[in-house]
Amino acid sequence: MALLHIAEPGQSTEPHKHRLAVGIDLGTTNSLVATVRNGIAVCLVDEAGRAMVPSIVRYHPDGTIEVGRSAAAAHATDPRNTIMSVKRFMGRGLNDVAHVESMPYDFVDAGGMLRLRTVQGVKTPVEISAEILRVLAARAEASLGGELTGAVITVPAYFDDAQRQATKDAAKLAGLNVLRLLNEPTAAAVAYGLDNASEGVYAVYDLGGGTFDLSILKLSRGIFEVLATNGDAALGGDDFDHRLFCWVLDKAKIAPPTSEDARRLLMKAREAKELLTASEEAPIKAGLATGEQVNLSVTRDEFAQMTQHLIQKTVAPMRKVLRDAGLAPEDIKGVVMVGGATRMPHIQRAVAEFFGQEPLTNLDPDKVVALGAAIQANVLAGNRKEEDDWLLLDVIPLSLGLETMGGLTEKVVPRNSTLPIARAQEFTTFKDGQTAMAFHVVQGERELVSDCRSLARFELRGIPPMAAGAARIRVTFQVDADGLLSVSAREMSSGVAASVLVKPTYGLTDDEITGMLREGVDRASDDMHARAVREQQVEADRVIEATTHALEQDGDLLNADERAGIDAAIAELRRLVSGDDPRAIKKGIDALSRVTDEFAARRMDKSIRTALAGQKVDEIQV
Amino acid sequence: MSVTLSTSAAKHVSDFMAKRGKGVGIRLGVRTSGCSGMAYRLEFVDETHDDDLVFESHGVKVVVDPKSLAYLDGTELDFVREGLNEGFKFNNPNVKDACGCGESFNV
């Protein structure tokens, strides 16, 4: 029997028509599921009242799969089959992941996305993530008493197409209908209702269990743009636990502890850290295997002191991200805190000091991303009336484009375009009679393809033979609301078409994305020079190609001297092309075109004579 | 004639209204639709209408329109937990038969 919930005035749904939609925060360390009930976004809890599911999956030899808290215990005894932090592997190749050698997993490098060998066979990160999503979906269906219409799943703002696609695939595998992928900082901002607030620039400080992400969001006309992201993929609340744990070992003069003792002390350290959020002092008491008793006490100030260097590690990215966005701390209108670690008072103090304002902390920082996703899911599922219907838009993080002749990038969809978006651009053939064209889809801000990220390649075949430059090939880029890209090409006269859904084998690392954004700005003048050189090189190649072709066809129109002059100009231009002075190449092109002027005129006459031969004057249409 | 809330329902309604940050109470109503003829409405109230009847139960204002009251008289709204699921339930003495889902009923 369905239980009822209170709707907004005038918005009761018809019986059986209420669509159950959830928001899912698929985190590196912990995952959560939330929904909007009685007009309020709430996280759904298990039988014990816990909202967080540790993002840990254990494969047992008997074919059963364990997810969450109970799987965590096996991390020490069965590390190979107990996968933690699988999010780090989503859409990544083995070469993209740092410190693989220190991880306890049995990686399989099959090209493309990495895989892990477990007792239940080889698993992709997509399959492992799907297990976590299944658990969350089952909890949601049990809590809501019905089948889910759909889910909004959050991803880090810097996730590229490969990582987003992998997340979507995991949801599909778990039987979830993905309404939208939403950037995590955007979700946090939505949870705080900033989308209804005044326009401006906001910072989201997200210190999770093992990752630190900082995002600068700009809100204008209901659209959140991600202006810049930065962070540290290996910094989180766990590092604070570990620092306190080391302090305990030092204070209690414990030689390297047994792994059982280490685990117990680490747990005590974490408890003490959590206690210090509310009190000035916390006890650390434990009995060791040797029979020794640890009986210590740590004050809030001591803890702040010993972890100061960790706080500093979050300050550097704050500076950097503001510099990338071209902003000063006082330009930031509000600061949202995300992640359990931001409960630590000295972190809040450091952030408040840096931005010169108190950060927003009144929502549970562990839940805020899931809550924002739930609010978005409720809207997308159609549970709100039309007049109330706002649609939250996201933007693409890095420009999308094509490689053109000479290894240059032609940007088709500029960065920060709002999604969904479709953009078309016409391209043409480079050679006479060219019947096929190769397309190389790239992502990045730089002018040269070699500095951007390769996303996909495809070919258009069956172009009817035409003179160079006569074919019109329309290339359409389409990015859906989740930031997933498909590219299609169509030759306009014949209608032949080809397309590709971008499902690249590798992803960009966070550093790559921030690095690419920064380089795009820093290197603008270098890039302009490089572009100028490449453009002239392409033009020179085209002129040489055309002249050589003409000489083959109509070389008999020239006497030996004229021929030698043209050959010399071609040779000179070939020499110049290998250099990097755009003006010299331009001069060479001009020189070649001067010596071929007369030749071109004679060819023109000849072709007119040929065309006219055998026709009466009055049949020629002018 | 009256419509009441159980203590548990009243407590939850108060919590939800506090979090919502506005509203004068909740509206209970019926409308003709659903698989068994009638369906319940349960909404927050920002403004009452002139002909609305307003009851007070455990400190919560319960608003019912006169047409609905005929079908709801004597109803107690309860808040129940069934496994992981939780929500409101109408204990309505007028109901002859309800559909399996409990969202609609017949009098």
Asked if the Cβ–Cβ distance from B42 to A12 is below 8 Å, we say yes
Q: A461 near A424, Cβ under 8 Å? A: no
For residue A51, the chain B residue with the least C-alpha distance is B84
Q: Which residue of B has its CA nearest to A138?
A: B84
Report which of A121, A118, A136 is spatially closest to residue A174, judged by C-alpha positions: A136
**Residue whose C-alpha is closest to residue B31's, from B62, B70, B57:** B70
Residue B105 counted as domain residue = no
Tell me the shortest Cα–Cα distance from A209 to chain B, in angstroms: 27
Local mean pLDDT, 10-residue blocks, chain A (622 residues): 78 69 94 91 92 94 92 84 91 79 82 86 92 95 88 88 85 90 91 81 92 88 77 87 91 81 87 92 88 89 94 91 88 94 94 94 94 91 56 67 85 78 86 87 82 82 85 87 80 84 51 58 71 84 86 86 89 88 88 85 79 55 46
Interchain CB contact of A13 with B (< 8 Å): no
Determine, yes or no, domain membership for B68.
yes
The DSSP secondary-structure symbol of A356 reads T
A10 — alpha (psi -120 to 50), left (phi > 0) or beta? left
Q: What are phi and psi of A140, to 5 degrees?
A: -65, -45
The CATH number of the structural domain formed by A525-612 is: 1.20.1270.10
Confidence at residue B63, expressed as pLDDT on a 0 to 100 scale:
93
Contact across the interface for A142 and B42, Cβ inside 8 Å: no
State the pTM of this model. 0.66
Domain ranges of chain A: 1-192+365-389, 237-309, 400-522, 525-612
**B3, B94 Cβ separation under 8 angstroms:** no
Domain assignment present for B37 = yes
Would you list which residues of chain B are within 8 Å, Cβ to Cβ, of chain A? 12-13, 16, 19-20, 26-27, 29, 33-35, 39-47, 80, 82-90, 99-104
Distance from CA of A8 to the nearest CA of B (A): 5
Q: Residue A345: phi, psi to the nearest 5? A: -60, -35
| Catalytic residue check, A522 | no
CATH number at residue B33: 2.60.300.12
The third-level CATH classification (topology) of the domain covering A400-522 is Substrate Binding Domain Of DNAk; Chain A, domain 1 (2.60.34)
Positive or negative torsion for Cα A235, A241, A243, A245: negative
Instruction: Enumerate the residues of chain B whose CB falls inside 8 A of the CB of residue A9.
Output: 27, 43-47
For tokens 């799969």, what's the residue? A65
Whether B103 is covered by a domain: the verdict is no
The closest of A25, A29, A37, A84 to A57, measured between CA atoms, is: A84
How many domains is chain B partitioned into structurally? 1
Can the peptide bond before residue A329 be classed as cis, meaning omega within 30 degrees of 0?
no
Q: What percent of chain B has pLDDT over 70?
A: 83
Burial of A393 (0-12, 13-18, 19+ CB in 10 A): middle
The residue written with tokens 């006082």 in the block is A330
Task: Determine contact: A11 vs chain B, CB below 8 A.
Answer: yes
Q: Active-site residue A14, yes or no? A: no
Assigned domain for B72 exists: yes
- The parent domain of residue B39 ranges over 4-95
Neighbours of A616 (CB within 10 A): 7
Annotated catalytic residue within A66, A161, A206, A482: A206
Q: What is the pLDDT of residue A611?
A: 66
Q: Which of B44, B84, B90 sits opposite A142 (nearest CB)?
A: B84
pLDDT at A505: 38
Look up tokens 């900033």; give the residue.
A194
CA torsion sign for A375, A378, A384, A389 is positive
Q: What Cα–Cα distance (Å) separates residue A524 from each residue in A327, A417, A516, A534?
A: 19, 20, 12, 15
A25 belongs to the catalytic site: yes
Task: Provide the ipTM.
Answer: 0.83
Assess A8–B contact: CB distance below 8 Å, yes or no: yes
Q: Residue for token digits 């972190």?
A: A347
pLDDT of residue A622: 44
Q: Which residue of A5, A6, A47 to mutate against B (max B Cβ within 10 Å)?
A: A6
In angstroms, the CA A308 to CA A311 distance is: 5
Measured in degrees and rounded to the nearest 5, phi and psi for residue A232 equal -145, 115
- Which residue of chain A is at minimal alpha-carbon distance from B27? A9
Q: Which residue of B26, B32, B44 is the best one to mutate when testing the A interface, meaning the one whose CB has the most A CBs within 10 A?
A: B44
CATH superfamily of A237-309: ATPase, substrate binding domain, subdomain 4 (3.90.640.10)
Closest Cα of chain B to A363: distance in Å? 12
Residue/partner pairs of A301-310 with CB below 8 Å, 24 or more apart: A302/A247, A303/A244, A303/A272, A303/A273, A303/A276, A303/A346, A304/A345, A304/A346, A306/A243, A306/A244, A306/A247, A307/A240, A307/A243, A307/A244, A307/A346, A310/A235, A310/A239, A310/A240, A310/A243
Q: Which CATH number fits domain A1-192+365-389: 3.30.420.40, 3.40.50.720, 2.40.70.10, 3.50.50.60?
A: 3.30.420.40
Residues of A in contact with B103 (CB under 8 A): 2, 4, 15-16
CB A296 within 8 A of CB A284: yes
How far A140 CA lies from chain B's nearest CA (Å)? 9
Among A532, A543, A609, A605, CA closest to A572: A543
- Do A68 and A54 contact (CB within 8 A), yes or no? yes
Q: Annotate A291-335 with DSSP letters as a single string.
A: S-EEEEEEEHHHHHHHTHHHHHHHHHHHHHHHHHHT--GGGEEEE
Angular region, A409: left φ>0, alpha ψ -120 to 50, beta rest: beta
Angle CA A577–A579–A582, to nearest 5:
75
Residue A50, chain B, CB below 8 Å: the answer is no
B107 belongs to a structural domain = no
Nearest Cα neighbor of A336 from A212, A186, A220 is: A186
Q: Which residues contact A99 (CB under 8 A, 6 or more apart)?
A: none
